[in-house]
Amino acid sequence: MFEGFETRHVETGEASVFVRYGGDGPPVVLLHGHPRTSATWHRVAPLLVDRGFTVVCPDLRGYGRSRGPAPAPAPDHSAHSKRAVAGDVVAVMRALGHERFALVGHDRGAAVAFRLVLDHPGAVERVALIDCLPISEHLARITPEFATQWWHWFFFAQPDTPERVINADPDAWYRGDPRVMGRENHDEFREATRDPEVVRAMLEDYRAGLTVDRRHEEEDRAAGTRVRCPALILWSLRDDLEQLYGDPLRIWRDWATDVRGHGIDSGHHVAEEAPQDLAAALADFFTA
């Protein structure tokens, strides 16, 4: 994977962030979702390099080979808030010599990307958000269908029990198919999800989502804070975002000034399942 890319750990003060980077050209950051690592981009990143970009793929705080504050998460979950993780991304990019960049986030990584453009608007040229709505919008629209299909959000928020359940058999909980993911990506994902420290950090991501992250979004909404840079919204047609909410663009227009986007024929893990279509959409948007 990632032939020609370099790797390093960047110390951000609170976190040690593992990052892959390669290419030559305008910088683009790719933020993965749960329960993946930066390896999920192994098919997309080289395609963007071929289109003339420098591509940076970090493991989010606590995921994969990145680590967050020690010895334990904060009681209020703020150490794994999207605000904290977005700060990591800005610090990583500055360490690599990039003050401004294009930004892509999928799933939980999209929640981080959304927070980053709100908190650091001067750092982001353009943003692409994949399979995502603001967390507060999800919670404001809870229906029996949402609660049934997204029940894990509320299970993960419980104290201690999710750790015991998941760590009893992480391979059974975090299922992944190496034929779809690619063998090396699958092996990295499997190694990470077998680590109880990683599992706890991933759960803290969700606990933060229902508490501190939700409050931050509600404060932004009350203050009229919006995404000012161009925003590309993409979603997987064989996932359930459109089924639950209709056109995601309609919701995002309440949060962003310049919104465009479309669905991609894929399941949820679009970077693994439809890399050509995704890379083309991203490259076209970033060069428009």
Percentage of residues in the chain having pLDDT higher than 90: 97
Q: Total structural domains in the chain?
A: 1
Question: What was the pLDDT predicted at 71?
Answer: 63
With respect to residue 54, please indicate whether it lies within any of the assigned structural domains: yes
Catalytic residues: 107, 268
Q: What confidence tens digit (pLDDT) does each residue in 41-73 have?
A: 999 999 999 999 999 999 999 999 999 887 678
Mean pLDDT calculated for residue range 24-50: 98
Question: What was the pLDDT predicted at 221?
Answer: 96
Rounded to whole angstroms, how far apart are CA atoms 132 and 117? 14
pTM of the complete model: 0.97
**259-264 vs 27-31, strand pairing mode:** unpaired
Mean pLDDT calculated for residue range 179-204: 97
Domain assignment of residue 151, given as a range: 6-287
| Residue 282 in tokens | 């991203």
Cis peptide before 71 (omega within 30 of 0): yes
Could you tell me the CATH number of the domain that includes residue 146?
3.40.50.1820
- The helix (run of H) or strand (run of E) holding residue 164 is helix 161-168
Percentage of residues in the chain having pLDDT higher than 70: 99
Q: Identify the weakest region by mean pLDDT among 54-68, 72-86, 258-272.
A: 72-86
| Residue 18 in tokens | 């593992």
With respect to residue 1, please indicate whether it lies within any of the assigned structural domains: no
200 — pLDDT class (breaks 50, 70, 90) = very high
Mean pLDDT calculated for residue range 151-162: 96
What letter would DSSP give residue 72? S
With respect to residue 212, please indicate whether it lies within any of the assigned structural domains: yes
With respect to residue 82, please indicate whether it lies within any of the assigned structural domains: yes
